[in-house]
Structure 1
Amino acid sequence: MFTPTEAGGVGALAALLFALFRRKLTLGSFWTILMETGRVTAAITFLIIAAHMYARLLALTGLPGQIGGVMAMFDLGLVGILVAYIVVVILLGAILDSTSIMLILLPLFLPIMHAHEVDLIWFGILTIVTVEVGLLTPPLGIACFVVKANLRDVDISLSEIFAGAFPFVLAMVVLVVLLLLAPGIATVLI
């Protein structure tokens, strides 16, 4: 019934109406919600501005073209480039958040993917799944730290959380391999 953006707006309106109906929303709490929303929006806006500046800087320096030239010199081919990309994303996922990884790597690799005429929807799905693998891997898998921070049971250790996330890591690695071997599964519904 709605586009994703419209659905977000409708969901926010429904949450507001629900809070008003339950009489849980006071003027003070509404102001707090507005201020928090403003802080999050400002932070995201600065990230987007920095990403645009970074992408323009990369374009001015010609770094994506040079990286593409180096990869062509090694004659890796598309599969080699994708494997290198996946390894870098997983390594960065162990130490950075998903937005930072995409803001750093996509301006470097999108021109290379475009030159190889790769379906960018498939590449985006591959990127997201690979980033999620990195977010669950030690030593600094951010998703596991978020789970630990939100647990009420202090007896559960971080190593137990990493161990519990391991089957999901394996499943996503299998998915990455499937996406590499059969790219059509990512775009079959389009």
Structure 2
Amino acid sequence: MELTQVALFLVLLLLLLLGGGVWIALALLGVGWVGLQFFTNTPPGASVAGSLWSSVSSWSLAALPMFIWMGEILYRTRLAADLFEGLSPWLRSIPGRLLHINVLASGIFAAVIGSSAATTATVGKIALPELLKRGYPERLVLGSLAGSGTLGLLIPPSVVMIVYGVAAEVSVARLFIAGLLPGLLVMLLFMGWVMLAGLLNAKRMPPPDPPMPLGQRLRGLLKILPVLLLIVAVIGSIYAGVATPTEAASLGVLGALLIAFWTRSLSWQGLLESLMGAVRTTSMIGFILAGAAVLSIAMGFTGIPAAMAAWVAELGLSKYALLAVLMALFLVLGAFLDGISIIVLTTSVILPLAKAVGIDLLWFGIFLVIAVELAQITPPVGFNLFVLQGLSGRDIFTIARSALPFLFLLLLAAAIITVFPEIVTWLPRNMVGQ
């Protein structure tokens, strides 16, 4: 069979397995084995065993369970409630008022959790009922929550960045640093839209809260001081070059436990639940990575990625044309797959294409993370939409329509970092200790 026919067969087989409800990891593993067995001269046994082991034994993955456990601990504390109480007095007089809490709290929470769904759930459980009770338009509340929750993937530490770093053999620490300025850019875009929406819907906004004395507002900020110190300890140690991501993750777990102890908001049962949650999530990601590794090695032996890269090179596509095609592909995939699955499914094919047109893989990692953020709010399989559906009781398409402006803002952010790549590359290039 020609390579085109082989590629089409494997893609159709994968879609058939995924559509039939087979676990993503098993579908990837099965398609990889079929590719090795029937379309190469390589015995699948040794290749599958070797790739399974190498995919989960990477030292870069050691940070993954620790960051996940840190998030699980903080998910069960009073962090979101303290963020709401500490930030709200400072946002009463600007357009959009308390709707900005969704953006700011999500950005802060993202910096200590690294999960989009957990960020959306934690901030949403506090902010959604409170903002609706105060009379803010439901569409703006739901949309800002869904969009801001995606910051959990872009603002480091990010689980998705760790997965990409391992798959693309890019430094996770440099990815974390590269994500900081784009994360702030997305936050500013979101806050700008919230201000504009607040002005356009001024008649539907509730009356402003009465002014609060400066001393009381400053005391409210003390409630968010522990989490700010944790962010500085975890992310700052990586930026300063004094700790690896794995060491910083361990420090983060210790800090999360201290915050839980200080606030007395984590029971022994909650601690056990946080451990089990971290084990489940880590195992799920590891299983998917293992299946993807088998598929990647099968693709390599068939020669499909190299052939596609050569084909793209012959087409003469510019870097920008390729990025536009890839973004359209990610939008389609985001309607059916979660972010981690998108990364592990596509990296074996798209990385050679990116290299063929001279795209920096560090920069491309941030571009890909923004594309995965879009997947979080793309129906019907947008994880943030599912979370808000459970919290609000609204149907998923109503929430998706509410989040539509933030989807366009993420596309705008992707365009901005494409035109101005220094937003991504400047900080890693000039960071201390690297």
TM-score (normalised: structure 1): 0.83
CA distance in 1 between counterparts of 2:375 and 2:283 reads 27
Instruction: Give yes or no for the alignment of 1:189 onto 2:427.
Output: yes
- What residue is the counterpart of 2:280 in the other structure? 39
CA distance in 1 between counterparts of 2:266 and 2:315 reads 62
CA distance in 1 between counterparts of 2:320 and 2:296 reads 25
**Paired amino acid for 2:414:** V
Shift in Å, 1:99: 0.5
Rg: which structure is higher? 2
CA distance in 1 between counterparts of 2:360 and 2:326 reads 16
- What residue is the counterpart of 1:2 in the other structure? 237
CA distance in 2 between counterparts of 1:20 and 1:179 reads 41
- What residue is the counterpart of 2:79 in the other structure? none
CA distance in 1 between counterparts of 2:372 and 2:265 reads 41
- What residue is the counterpart of 2:415 in the other structure? 177
Alpha carbons of structure 1 residues 139 and 46: separation in structure 2 relative to 1, 3 Å = closer
Give 3-state SS (helix, strand or coil) of 1:138's partner.
coil
- What residue is the counterpart of 2:322 in the other structure? 81
- What residue is the counterpart of 1:146 in the other structure? 387
Identical pairs, percent: 31
The match for 1:61 among 286, 292, 302 is 302
Task: Count residues in correspondence.
Answer: 186
Shift in Å, 1:159: 2.9
Shift in Å, 1:144: 1.3
Q: Is the 8 A contact 1:95 1:142 kept in 2?
A: no
Alpha carbons of structure 1 residues 134 and 58: separation in structure 2 relative to 1, 3 Å = same
**CA-to-aligned-CA distance 1:158-180 (integer Å, 9 cap, x gap):** 23311221121111111122222
CA distance in 2 between counterparts of 1:75 and 1:32 reads 53
CA distance in 1 between counterparts of 2:406 and 2:292 reads 30
CA distance in 2 between counterparts of 1:84 and 1:130 reads 12
Q: What is the alpha-carbon root mean square deviation over aligned residues?
A: 2.3
Q: Is the 8 A contact 1:96 1:142 kept in 2?
A: no
Higher relative contact order (CA 8 A, sep 6+): 2
**Paired amino acid for 2:418:** L
**CA-to-aligned-CA distance 1:5-30 (integer Å, 9 cap, x gap):** 3333222223334445638533x554
Alpha carbons of structure 1 residues 188 and 32: separation in structure 2 relative to 1, 3 Å = closer
Shift in Å, 1:32: 4.3
**Paired amino acid for 2:335:** A
- What residue is the counterpart of 2:109 in the other structure? none
Q: Is the 8 A contact 2:285 2:340 kept in 1?
A: no
Q: Is the 8 A contact 1:94 1:139 kept in 2?
A: yes
Comparing 67-76 with 115-124, which one deviates more in the overlay? Answer: 67-76
Q: Is the 8 A contact 2:309 2:353 kept in 1?
A: yes
CA distance in 1 between counterparts of 2:369 and 2:320 reads 18
Instruction: Give yes or no for the alignment of 1:135 onto 2:376.
Output: yes
CA distance in 2 between counterparts of 1:39 and 1:139 reads 24
The match for 2:398 among 155, 160, 179 is 160
Shift in Å, 1:45: 1.8
Shift in Å, 1:82: 1.7
- What residue is the counterpart of 1:107 in the other structure? 348
Unaligned runs of 5+ in 1: none
**Paired amino acid for 1:25:** S
**Paired amino acid for 1:2:** S
CA distance in 2 between counterparts of 1:160 and 1:71 reads 39
Give 3-state SS (helix, strand or coil) of 1:76's partner.
coil
Comparing 132-141 with 79-88, which one deviates more in the overlay? Answer: 132-141
